[in-house]
Amino acid sequence: MILKQQPEDFIVEEIPMKKPSSGPFTYFLLKKRNLTTEYAMQRLAQHYKLPRKMFSYAGLKDKNAVTTQWCSARSEIESFKAKDWEVVVQGTAPEQINLGMLKGNKFIITVRECSEKELAAFKNPKKDFKNLFGEQRFGVHNVDIGRAFLQRKYRKATEIIIDTDNTYGPEVKKHLEQYNNDYVGALQKLPRKILVLYIHAYQSKLWNYMAMHFDDEEIPLIGFDSEFENDKVEEQYMDLLKEDNITMRDFVFKDLKELTAEGGMRKTNLHVDIKSKIENNTAILEFQLPPGSYATEIIRQLSVVA
């Protein structure tokens, strides 16, 4: 089984929560191919000669994909088309688009070189899945960086970013060369949404573990204000945090206040209606998911069934 052999194999379209009406914010569709959302935002800012902070989006989207997502600009902008990204203005609205302002996402996914068992699973797909966070949530080092933040090991976090992040690593390194040992200042060179992503990756890794070990309908996402109805769930969470020398209080940050992370509840199961088409050893799957659920995880769980 091969997933994402080319960007066109993974097509994503956001379902908006709000549509344009009138106001100071321009709503637009960002259509991109083989670009991360944040990199596309930087290119937008350069093209329109506006600060990056003038642009916002509802959700991060995969790089190796063809995606259509709702974004906003705190300014008037015009539609624009380039080789690998396009802006299609939809109108104006009274508020900017923020993370989570989605009803969900539509997916058309092409899975190539499937085995006979995988094709059978894709042809008659099951409908019930664990609502696990997908691997793209974690990246290669996101969990490690998030753990370092929570342990207040900011030097370690900057070292990982410098060594592994071609986008922000050079800027972090440059700051430390100018301001020796100012690790907090160096980290503040990253966009808030990227910093928060590292904390979310750590929270999500722990949540996945809990979801695989408990049959509760909902399980808390650990944060500074998490509350537990199940004593065993609470005990297991505390054991996992203790292994990393972290407490719930560590999710409150005084030096990097933007990293302070709340808890929340997340459903452990998903019901998904999947339309499938089989062509030779290739499966084309079409379905919708609520915000925060991962298509790659649905595909993985289907392939495990095979």
Strand spans (E) along 53-197: 55-57, 66-73, 80-81, 85-93, 102-112, 128-130
273 catalytic? Reply is no
Catalytic site residue from 62, 84, 216, 250: 62
With b meaning 16 or more CB within 10 Å and e meaning fewer, what string describes 273-296?
ebebeeeeebbbbebbbebbbbbb
DSSP notation for 210-251: HHHH---SEEEEP-TT---S-HHHHHHHHHHHHHTT--GGGG
- Angstrom distance (rounded) from CA 180 to CA 116: 58
- Angstrom distance (rounded) from CA 44 to CA 78: 11
Angle value at C-alpha 193, between 5 and 298, nearest 5 degrees = 35
With beta carbons less than 8 A apart as the criterion, state whether 274 and 252 touch: no
Backbone angles phi, psi at 152, to 5 degrees: 60, 30
Among candidate residues 139, 7, 2, the one with its CA nearest the CA of residue 67 = 7
With beta carbons less than 8 A apart as the criterion, state whether 25 and 91 touch: no
Question: Which residues are catalytically annotated?
Answer: 62
